[in-house]
Amino acid sequence: MTAKLETVGLAKTYRETPALLPTDLRVAAGEFLTLLGPSGSGKTTLLQMIAGLVEPSAGQLFIDGREATQEAPGKRGIGMVFQSYALFPHMTVWDNVAYGLRMRRLPKAELGGAVDAALAMVKMQAFGQRFPTELSGGQQQRIALARCFAFRPSIILLDEPLGALDKKLREHMQLEIRRLHQELGATFIYVTHDQDEALTLSDRICLMNQARIEQIGTPAELYDRPATRFAADFLGHSNLLDGLVKTLPDGRAALRIGNRLVPVAPSADLPASGQACLLVRPEAARLTAPADGALAGTIREVVFVGSDTRAIVSLGNDNGAAADVDFTVRCPRNLSPRVGETVGLAWDHARATLLTR
């Protein structure tokens, strides 16, 4: 892929504490890349170094093939949208959007058209003469986006821009940001700790953990084939079953969980033995008769979530395990599992992922 932006060994250390370990990252032109991870994982530090707001301790940054490591923020051609809208309360919406263009000395003959176009892009052209205090949170966020988009940057950085919004408005704005990305054709780098947001918006997700990149891939790749236990546990709801890898007499592999042998899909990197963890997503599993399942357990709780019902099955005694483990199954609405019922658990082994780290 042609790199719009590339980091080579980019790192940041505060005294002796690494905020970001040496990081290599390539972002394609027009790509929507999300930096996802828990607090303290290094995602915001990486974003701020790309923006030029934080000086790297080591490494290089390239934009369009030119080195920009020491370039001033204003010369990088980058726009940025923050979680705090950072609107000027004493200026109208129109003037807030125009501010950045005036700082860039855009000719007056072009200024009005550029502001109007940016407001139209976020569907706020009727609000130009209002002040920020007269707008809702979602409307203020649209204006912050319009101010960034007005000068048409080729790279747009967004630092948890929807964090202050309620769930319904947040979901609506996610779709709006996705639409705007497609219209602009710019490269978006988006920071969030919200996994659903990352899955909804991204072309690729860069999952970060402990100041380094854990895994990079499309949303489907990270969800269906996480490379590590952390990735499996962080993205989506996970059933993680620990056990010992065993080779069966017929050459197939299985995972010993308690006193049960659970078949696993063949894999080129499957170890002949040792500790491993099996990931089974709730939607890949189903309830069966106890004797028909790979595992058995007792339904501890039933949760209604609207579109479906989730049965939380307690494993352990039924499988000879040393301690109880909860296993969640997403059930169709026409199935009515009962608390206290003994059930079996089955799944398509091709949809389960064996993790060795």
Same domain, 295 and 274: yes
Are 39 and 186 in the same domain? yes
The H-or-E segment that residue 261 falls in is strand 260-263
Same domain, 243 and 225: no
Query: Are 33 and 136 part of one and the same domain?
Result: yes
- What CATH number corresponds to the domain at position 190? 3.40.50.300
Q: Report which of 296, 301, 302, 338 is spatially closest to residue 317, judged by C-alpha positions.
A: 296
125 and 55 fall within a common domain: yes
38 and 168 share a domain?
yes
**Residue 264 belongs to domain with CATH number:** 2.40.50.140
For the stretch 202-206, contacts whose Cβ atoms lie closer than 8 Å and that sit 24 or more positions apart, written own/partner, are 202/32, 202/33, 202/34, 203/31, 203/32, 203/33, 204/31, 204/32, 204/33, 204/34, 205/33, 205/34, 205/36, 205/235, 206/25, 206/33, 206/34, 206/35, 206/36, 206/43
Which pLDDT tens digits describe the chain residue by residue (357 residues)?
A: 679 999 999 999 998 899 999 999 999 999 999 999 999 999 999 999 999 999 999 999 999 999 999 999 988 989 988 877 788 999 999 999 999 888 888 888 888 899 999 898 888 889 999 999 999 888 888 898 889 888 888 899 999 888 777 888 888 888 888 988 998 899 999 999 899 999 999 999 999 999 999 999 999 999 999 999 999 999 988 999 988 888 777 777 788 888 888 888 766 566 666 788 899 999 999 999 998 998 999 999 999 887 788 999 998 765 655 457 889 999 887 778 899 999 999 998 888 888 887
Of 230, 261, 292, the residue that ends a domain is 230
Mark which of 230, 263, 279 sits at the end of a domain: 230
Give the residue among 14, 115, 2, 112 at the shortest CA–CA distance from 63: 2
168 and 313 fall within a common domain: no
pTM of this prediction?
A: 0.88
Domain count along the chain: 2
Range of the domain at 271: 237-355
Residue 308 sits in the same domain as residue 335: yes
Domain identity same for 204 and 265: no
Residues 199 and 95 in one domain: yes
Same domain? 191 vs 310:
no
Domain boundary among 206, 230, 254: 230
Q: Do 197 and 264 have their domain in common?
A: no
